[in-house]
Structure 1
Amino acid sequence: MTSTQTRVAAAVRLDGVRKNFGDVVALDGVDLTVAPGEFVCLLGASGCGKTTLLNLVAGLDRPSTGEITLNTSRPAVMFQEAALMPWLTATRNVELPLRLAGFGRAERREKAAELLELVRLGGVGGKRPHELSGGMRQRVALARALAATLRVGGDPHQALLLMDEPFAALDAITRDVLQGELLRVYARTGTSVLFVTHDVREAVRLGQRVVLLSSRPGRVVREWDDLARADAEELTAEITGHLREVISTHAAA
């Protein structure tokens, strides 16, 4: 079951979460905590249950057993595709979740303008998605996701952003730029982030903590924290080695 109650200092906590799809066990006994303001990267091979876990936290599905506790406003999700409304301008796309949350017109315009400035798109609010590059569309999607975490009278720092390989479809240069932009936005907002990736270098660059899931069924098999103090190349090599072990173990099963 999913509950919203304060137990300890955690933006989200998963306790013994298991998810079945018929006879297939996607996740099995996952225990995971994301602290307020923490950036956690969830790493694993394709099909290990990373996206399933994000969907459970987002409330898009329910765990078969176990508990998910949220101490934030409703999580916002950012996907690999920007999924913007093509008939709306960038500003109106960002305003949409604010409208659904009950913000008035003037406040929606003000907050949308602030968020577009935050992602360095202050001058393109009047453009529609087809007029923007792929990287710019993902910036609009990031601004919209941040907007979706806001609530009337709520604490803007009490937010959780779920990101499902949001830069995977972009070219290497654009991906590198947006990773840097995400870190800048994260530092400015204090939003808690749970970021799914299968790219070890991306996880090491972005995360304060990296959590490795086993191949199906997904279980937490290793964690690395205090990444800022580690040598990035050595840590990347270490995590890559463990990821290869996970993949090879699954292939031999």
Structure 2
Amino acid sequence: MTATLEPSAAHATADAAVTLSGVHKVFGHGAAAVSALDGLDLRVAPGEFVCLLGASGCGKSTLLNLVAGLDAPTSGTIALTTSRPAVMFQEAALMPWLTAARNVELPLRLAGLKRGPRRQKAGELLDLVRLGGAGHKRPHELSGGMRQRVALARALASTLGSAEEGTPGLLLMDEPFAALDAITRDVLQAELVRVWRETGNAILFVTHDVREAVRLGQRVVLLSSRPGRVVREWDTTRGDEATLIDDITSHLREVISGHAAA
């Protein structure tokens, strides 16, 4: 038996790392306007790992951009307990002229941390993602999986200011492992769970892979086809994994079919 939740029912009374209330996002004007999100409500608790699923174009990446402050909602509110959500994309997007360590140092440098402390922090974060011996290498000298580990360490560096202020960190991850081969992806999924448990950051993770969502997330949230809104949620800490995967896949197919027919 699977454990499903009513939309926005989970953690309704808990403090939140981020809360989206009635969020609408419209691109363009007049007849050319496209509604990406329609009254979306979502709450992520401090330290919670939430995975977002939905058809292509349903607004998952738009949602992350809004939470990251890269764009503004047309209406509705987004409340954060951290002023520094960190974003990790499908591409590592490392600075090719900088070493791995210097890439990790970059957000610390921008935050005004002095050279000695930031080098120490960068070294600690590279150790955390098991790249302690690769700090001197440049991105072209690293495998795809190693580059994503560096990107993860850099994202974690971006959350350190919040941690020092006593507020929870928040990682926004937009299909970060999609371009990797299956073996590397499996390894990095396990590594991400380990790092998440060690850091206590909240994570909002976008994926198209139901198995990945169930494996990683404590909660899986399904968005409708465009315009996106939360239509169903699953608590992955209860119930059989195979049954969860089947149930989520069935509902995702319904959403995708509805999107294709629209």
TM-score (norm 2): 0.91
Q: Per-residue CA shift, 1:31-60, capped at 9, x if unaligned? A: 000000000001111111000000000000
Following the alignment from structure 1 to structure 2, what is the Cα–Cα distance between the partners of residues 44 and 153?
A: 31
1:19-58 paired onto structure 2 within 5 Å: 19-22=25-28, 23-58=33-68
> How far does residue 72 in structure 1 lie from its aligned partner after superposition?
1.5
- Name which of 18, 21, 41 aligns with 1:15: 21
Matching of residue 163 in structure 1 with residue 173 in structure 2: yes
CA contact (8 A) 1:101 1:152 kept: no
Matching of residue 242 in structure 1 with residue 251 in structure 2: yes
Following the alignment from structure 2 to structure 1, what is the Cα–Cα distance between the partners of residues 53 and 14?
A: 25
Matching of residue 186 in structure 1 with residue 192 in structure 2: no
> How far does residue 120 in structure 1 lie from its aligned partner after superposition?
0.2
CA contact (8 A) 1:54 1:164 kept: yes
> How far does residue 73 in structure 1 lie from its aligned partner after superposition?
3.4
Alignment size in residue pairs: 246
1:45-84 paired onto structure 2 within 5 Å: 45-84=55-94
CA contact (8 A) 1:15 1:29 kept: yes
Matching of residue 232 in structure 1 with residue 241 in structure 2: yes
- Name which of 94, 97, 104 aligns with 1:87: 97
Following the alignment from structure 2 to structure 1, what is the Cα–Cα distance between the partners of residues 165 and 137?
A: 30
Counterparts in 2 of 1:102 and 1:111: CA distance versus 1, 3 Å: same
Q: Secondary structure at the match of 1:229?
A: coil
Moved over 4 A (4+): none
Following the alignment from structure 2 to structure 1, what is the Cα–Cα distance between the partners of residues 166 and 129?
A: 16
Q: Secondary structure at the match of 2:178?
A: coil
TM-score (norm 1): 0.95
**Partner of 2:228 in structure 1?**
218
CA contact (8 A) 1:73 1:160 kept: no
Following the alignment from structure 2 to structure 1, what is the Cα–Cα distance between the partners of residues 94 and 70?
A: 19
1:79-228 paired onto structure 2 within 5 Å: 79-151=89-161, 154-155=164-165, 158-225=168-235, 227-228=236-237
Counterparts in 2 of 1:152 and 1:108: CA distance versus 1, 3 Å: farther
